[in-house]
Amino acid sequence: MNQILVSRSSMPDFDEYCEEIKKMWDTHWLTNMGEEHRKFQSDLEEFLDCRHVVLYTNGHLALENIIAAMQFEPGSEVITTPFTFASTTHAIVRNGLVPIFCDINDRDYTIDVDKIESLITDRTVAILPVHVYGNICDVERIRAIADAHGLKVIYDAAHAFAVKYHGVSTANFGDASMFSFHATKVFNTIEGGAVCFSNDELVSTMNDMKNFGIRGPESVVFVGGNAKMSEFQAAMGICNLRHLEEEIAKRKKVVERYRDRLTGIKGLKLCAEQAGVESNYAYFPVVFDGYGMNRDEVFDRLAENGIGARKYFYPLTNSFECYRDYPTAGSGKTPVAAYLADRVLTLPLYADLALEDVDRICDIIIKIK
């Protein structure tokens, strides 16, 4: 029985990658913003249509550092959602800030904009929403609320690389957006990430943060850490970016097949496509509610057949043990997120997933009704 994992990393042809890294055997320049890094950064600024892209060794440190760059008072509050990966909440807390958990909406699972204002206090400094599954948050309403209250907006856009909203790249919403190029994402640099923004003043801060604040051989101006992207990661990015369009087109076919097979089945809820959004087909979430089996039973049945689905996102970050004592912790305070976390499963989805395998997955789900 062939095993199907929930994701499978996109990779360029072996020869193409070798060609890209070959020059390093002449230069011996392996990291510290070399030629590959420079090229990849400018490729991305063009692809994402964004004024500034600062590359990082992973998405998490990119997010941690862009929050730090805003220099909020310690103990300030950041409004965010718990229906996300650990990274989002951890990045807030590791900066000495307090996450205030807002519920999500049940249409696209992004932050419920109607619930943001009631959570704003005189300690609130920012909103940190997540473009979950590549679904775009209500960026206009969030901007309006932030402007009315003098708040910063930082998007966790880890899922939303290459997504466009009414023709505008997701890199251009809020004060900054973070992308992850982790191996499991639609676009990868093995490990990697970036922060995108338009404010010229942030460029040197973000560069200082990832390279010890070193400005020159004898000049250290900032207490920065180390989060640089290496030349090998950048080379992977250059190669993968060349094939991204084909990879997304293949993902689209997989998603269309899932929709064909699973639409209209009682007790199965699929996430509606968003109007005006050019999708990257990053994930395929299915909500099991009033189906013949519950989510965990479907998960187990798929696993018995060698198919890896993912309880994504379960548990919610506001029910993590490490956040037990936080003021808005507890999944009871975010009922929509809690409802979804107990019922959602993301099905296997990657560019090379065969349509026959999609059928096999759907057959298993449909037959266990």
Contacting range for ligand PLP; rule: CB under 6 A; set: 26-34, 56-64, 141-149, 256-264: 56-64
Stretch that binds ligand PLP, among 57-65, 202-210, 253-261, 357-365 (CB under 6 A): 57-65
* Cβ closest to ligand PLP, residue 89 vs residue 291: 89
Q: How far is the CB of 234 from ligand PLP (least distance, A)?
A: 15
Part in contact with ligand PLP (CB under 6 A); list of ranges 42-50, 53-61, 214-222, 352-360: 53-61
Chain mean position to CA 240: 17
The site string for ligand PLP over 180-219 (x = CB under 6 A, - otherwise) reads x-x----------x--------------------------
Q: Is the dihedral of CA 287, 291, 296, 301 positive or negative?
A: negative
CB of 78 to ligand PLP, least distance (A): 14
Measured distance CA(155)–CA(176) in Å, rounded: 6
For ligand PLP, the closer CB: 228 or 257 = 228
What is the DSSP secondary structure assignment for residue 263, as one 8-state letter?
Answer: T
Which residues 87-106 are close enough to bind ligand PLP by CB under 6 A?
87-88
| Residue 66 or 158 having the CB closest to ligand PLP | 158
- 159 or 228: CB nearest ligand PLP: 159
User: How far apart are the C-alpha atoms of 241 and 353, rounded to whole Å?
Assistant: 19
Rounded Cα distance between 250 and 26, Å, is 37
Confirm or reject binding of residue 84 to ligand PLP (CB under 6 A): yes
| Helix boundaries (H) for 311-352 | 335-343
Query: Distance between the two ends of the chain, CA-based, in angstroms?
Result: 22
Where do we find the tokens 């604040």? 213
Report the largest interatomic distance among the alpha carbons of the chain, rounded to a whole angstrom. 68
Q: Closer CB to ligand PLP, residue 58 or residue 319?
A: 58
Rounded Cα distance, 5 and 109, in Å: 24
Specify burial of residue 148 (Cβ count, 10 A radius: 0-12, 13-18, 19+).
exposed
Q: What are the strands of the beta sheet with 152-156, ordered from one edge?
A: 52-56, 193-197, 176-180, 152-156, 124-128, 77-80, 98-101
Residue number, 336 or 368, with CB nearest to ligand PLP = 336
**Minimal distance, residue 25 CB to ligand PLP, in Å:** 28
Window 102 to 141, contacts with ligand PLP (CB under 6 A): 130
Question: Quick one: tokens of 188?
Answer: 């990868």
Binding interface with ligand PLP (CB under 6 A): 58-60, 84-85, 87-88, 130, 156, 158-159, 180, 182, 193
